[in-house]
Amino acid sequence: MSPAHTSIRAPWEGHHVLIDEPLSALRPRESLRDVTLRRLQAAIMSGYLKPGTVYSARSIGTQLGISATPVREAMLDLVKEGLVEAIPNKGFRVVQLTSTELDELTQLRELIEAPTVRLIAKRGIDDEAGLAELRHLADELERTARDKLPIEFSAIDLQFHLKLLAYGNNKSLVDTVRGLRLRSRLYGIPQLADRGELASTAHEHTELLDLICAGDADGAEALMRRHIRHVRGVWATGDSTDE
């Protein structure tokens, strides 16, 4: 059966499109391609770009109010990351993961992230500005969970965890986790947002920072493991395939 071809509007109808910020709000030295890439990553992670569905660069660009060129460039970056595949003369299709693949990605994340969080808790975060930014991101996660903004939640969640892991002083590790998180995706998050069940997951970020600031390495590591398993066990619902 050939994959369905739809515009970007259909799966996002009734929701904020991608990240709730104007396309003109670029970060320093950030191109339109870069901000489009971030938005598409968030849309894939949160499940609004559906696995198996083909999306055209033109339809996405129309929805975002930009040309197809930066969308196409961003999509090609996503092809390199393994998140989408190019369909000749049609567009791009989000890659479908099996349950086994999701399990493997979750195991890798737990093996990497939990010990790193433990190390950070033992060392402490001697960076008041950085810690304040993490607190702000944790607050934003609770806000987006409360306001049922799953795409924004996904983008901020990625930013929070990568910024936190950066205090482990291992850039290669952070890059690896970024790839794992982008690939594992948060299947089922729109449904959880609709049911108001994101709040408990969001609050875990504040709890994690509290444990780290208290120097509770055991507690921080345990919470990180629970958090990752929670993502796999509760959020990964319905959109993966069995082998």
pLDDT (tens digit, 9 = 90+) per residue, 122-172? 999 999 999 999 999 999 999 999 888 887 888 899 999 999 999 999 999
- The Cα–Cα gap between 12 and 106 comes to 27
**pLDDT, tens digit, 9 for 90 and up, residues 43-102:** 887 777 888 889 999 999 988 889 999 999 999 999 998 889 999 989 999 988 888 888
- The C-alpha atoms of residue 157 and residue 46 are separated, in whole angstroms, by 11
Whole-angstrom Cα distance, residue 82 to residue 95?
7
Name the CATH code of domain 9-94 (choices 1.10.10.10, 2.40.50.140, 1.10.3720.10, 3.90.1300.10): 1.10.10.10
In this structure, the number of other CB atoms found within 10 A of the CB of residue 111 comes to 11
In this prediction, residue 29 carries a pLDDT of 61
- Residue spans per domain, the chain: 9-94, 99-235
Could you give the angle at the alpha carbon of 26 between the alpha carbons of 58 and 209, nearest 5°? 115
Q: Are 105 and 184 in contact (CB under 8 A)?
A: yes
Q: Report pLDDT for 239.
A: 45
Q: Which tokens is 54 given? A: 């083909």
- Entry pTM: 0.76
pLDDT of residue 112: 98
pLDDT of residue 3: 41
SS3 197: coil
Among the CATH numbers 1.20.120.530, 3.30.365.10, 3.40.50.720, 1.10.238.10, which is that of 99-235? 1.20.120.530
Query: Alpha-carbon distance 106 to 102, whole Å?
Result: 6
Would you state the pLDDT for residue 185? 65
